């Protein structure tokens, strides 16, 4: 999981300053700031970050910090499910989910608003640009070399079960 979504940095080369999310500027950023691009603008990762949805930039930093401090997916995934579950991407919900997951919420919040959160944001932006599976939007998933764009949960389970080569988990027999 890379908490960045359809966000982009509002580079001088792509325009869109002050307009909020701009799909054309986002696509421009993907093209011009791609690691394989030529003449990469100097502000690819220093310009203002523009999220697709309100409060998403802070929420993505918060998720990046939680994943950073609790890197085992068995720890962070339940936290993310709790945090994103009802669309309440705010400090209060993060605190509730941190308590439930036994996470240090103060550490996550300090990271979210500090230099480490900004560093993780840049790292996740670069990870998004480096994705070679065929970016189709959010969420984009690759399972068994096949890309999925936002399948319903049952479609996701079906795709995982079809690609899984070991002993199938119980969810595959439902």
In which region does residue 102 sit, left (phi positive, over 0), alpha (psi from -120 to 50) or beta (all else)? left
In which region does residue 53 sit, left (phi positive, over 0), alpha (psi from -120 to 50) or beta (all else)? beta
pLDDT in tens, 79-130: 999 998 877 899 999 999 999 999 999 999 999 999 999 999 999 999 989 8
From residue 50, alpha-carbon distances to 39, 77, 78, 139 in Å are 22, 25, 27, 17
- The DSSP call for residue 9 is E
pLDDT in tens, 126-147: 998 988 766 666 677 777 777 7
CB-based contacts of 12: which residues, under 8 Å, 6+ apart?
41, 43, 47
Residue extents of the structural domains in the chain: 8-130, 140-173
pLDDT at 73 over 80: yes
pLDDT at 151 over 60: no
pLDDT at residue number 61 = 96
* Confidence tier at 55 by pLDDT (50, 70, 90): confident
Share the mean pLDDT of the chain.
87
pLDDT at 161 over 90: no
């Amino acid at each position: 999981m890379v908490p960045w979504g359809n966000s982009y940095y509002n580079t001088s080369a792509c325009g869109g300053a002050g307009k909020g999310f701009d799909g054309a500027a986002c696509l421009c950023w993907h093209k011009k700031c791609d690691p394989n691009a030529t003449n990469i603008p100097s502000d690819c990762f220093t310009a203002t970050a523009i999220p697709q949805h309100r409060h998403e930039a802070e929420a993505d930093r918060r998720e990046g910090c939680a994943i950073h401090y609790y890197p085992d997916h068995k720890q962070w995934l339940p936290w993310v499910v709790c945090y994103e579950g009802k669309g309440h991407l705010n400090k209060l919900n993060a605190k509730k989910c941190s308590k439930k997951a036994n996470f240090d919420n103060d550490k996550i919040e300090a990271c979210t608003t500090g230099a480490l959160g900004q560093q993780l944001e840049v790292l996740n932006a670069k990870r998004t640009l480096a994705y070679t599976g065929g970016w189709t939007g959010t969420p984009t998933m690759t399972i068994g070399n096949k890309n999925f764009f936002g399948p319903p949960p049952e479609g996701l389970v079906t795709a995982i079960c079809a690609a899984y080569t070991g002993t199938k988990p119980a969810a595959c027999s439902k």
